[in-house]
Amino acid sequence: MPRILVVDDAAVDRRLIGGLLEKRGDFAVQYAAHGMEALAMMAQFAPDVVLTDVTMPVMDGLELVTAMRVHFPSIPVILITAHGSEALAIEALERGAASYVPKSRLAAKLLTTIDDVLNTAQASRSHQQLLRCLEESVFRFTLDNEPALIDALVDYVQKLIEGMGLCDFTARLRVGLALKEALLNAMFHGNLQITREEIEAVQDRLIGENEPSLVELRREQAPYRDRRIHVQVQLSRHEIRLVVRDDGPGFDVSKLPAPGDPAALQGEQGRGLGLIRTFMDEVTFNAAGNEITLVKRCG
């Protein structure tokens, strides 16, 4: 059972977050009132994920993220941000946080964000000894618009990165999350041209099991059914280079907000690009707006 540590000085917010987690029934939840108390608790037990508020007494969320990078680098941190704290979210991501969830979107995004971070963090460590002898690897995938393939590919890339010993746990986690965001954008927004408004309209039925979902319906329609996601992964001792291209119409890249601009974190697509830009050393688009290149330098 995954262990979640919730760090927030407000008892009301702790109860709100705890209620969302305990409703799932498969999390063991503990609580701390500030960062210093959280660090003391982590010395006694190791949580799988830490959820932390930004503004707290004694030790705030940013200071906690910095301290955990030193003392508990293998434990991912998810920041919970209030309205107007987008700049602090960027700083926390730069310091080592794995992701963030706006307080206004807790009910809709908290559990899925935790699942994404947990799934990415729990990549297999098999074949590590052999992979550490690998000097360079280049491979290409052509993916159908099947959501299950995204997690499988992210997991596979992370296994290679870990096995080759290219970067530490936090950097590896960030590469995995950035790649996942790029693949999701390529599938939903690129190939299937599903807008944010359409996603919010169907919410839990986007990838449904009991009835045809929006994804399934769009995959059967022309021209979407013939589109694919093209992925090139190049791993070497010097850098990790990931290229993701979709067959959609693309977008106007000149309208993208500048990196580091708090406005870049607004909206679902903006949030994804904000994470990608923060986690990777270099992010570029082609002129058509249907291909993104992510670069993480090693060493």
Mean pLDDT of the chain: 86
Least confident of 48-57, 254-263, 273-282: 254-263
Domain range holding 229? 128-297
Would the pLDDT of 113 be above 90?
yes
Using DSSP's 3-state secondary structure scheme, residue 227 falls into: coil
Going by C-alpha positions, the residue among 69, 59, 278 that lies closest to residue 181 is 278
Q: Which two tokens stand for residue 182?
A: 């790029």
Q: Are residues 23 and 55 located together in one domain of the fold?
A: yes
Using DSSP's 3-state secondary structure scheme, residue 36 falls into: helix
Q: Are residues 138 and 285 located together in one domain of the fold?
A: yes
Percentage of the residues of the chain whose pLDDT score is greater than 90: 54
Ordered DSSP codes for 109-173: HHHHHHHHHHHHHT---TTHHHHTT--EEEEEEEE-S-HHHHHHHHHHHHHHHHHHT-S-HHHHH
Q: Are residues 117 and 139 located together in one domain of the fold?
A: no
Name the more confident of 167 and 293.
Answer: 293
Q: What is the DSSP letter of 228?
A: -
The domain total for the chain is 2
Do the Cβ atoms of 28 and 1 come closer than 8 Å? yes
pTM for the model stands at: 0.67
Q: Are residues 261 and 154 located together in one domain of the fold?
A: yes
Rounded mean pLDDT of 260-283? 74
Tens digit of each residue's pLDDT (9 = 90 or more) over 214-247: 788 888 899 999 999 999 999 999 999 999 999 9
Rounded mean pLDDT of 3-17? 93
d(CA 92, CA 95) in angstroms, rounded, equals 5
Going by C-alpha positions, the residue among 235, 40, 24 that lies closest to residue 118 is 24
Model confidence at 107, pLDDT cuts 50, 70, 90, reads confident
Q: Are residues 135 and 274 located together in one domain of the fold?
A: yes
Using DSSP's 3-state secondary structure scheme, residue 45 falls into: coil
CATH number of the domain enclosing 15: 3.40.50.2300
Model confidence at 94, pLDDT cuts 50, 70, 90, reads confident
Percentage of the residues of the chain whose pLDDT score is greater than 70: 88
Would the pLDDT of 82 be above 90?
no
Of 121, 153, 182, which closes a domain?
121
- For residue 223, say if its preceding peptide bond is cis, omega within 30 degrees of 0: yes
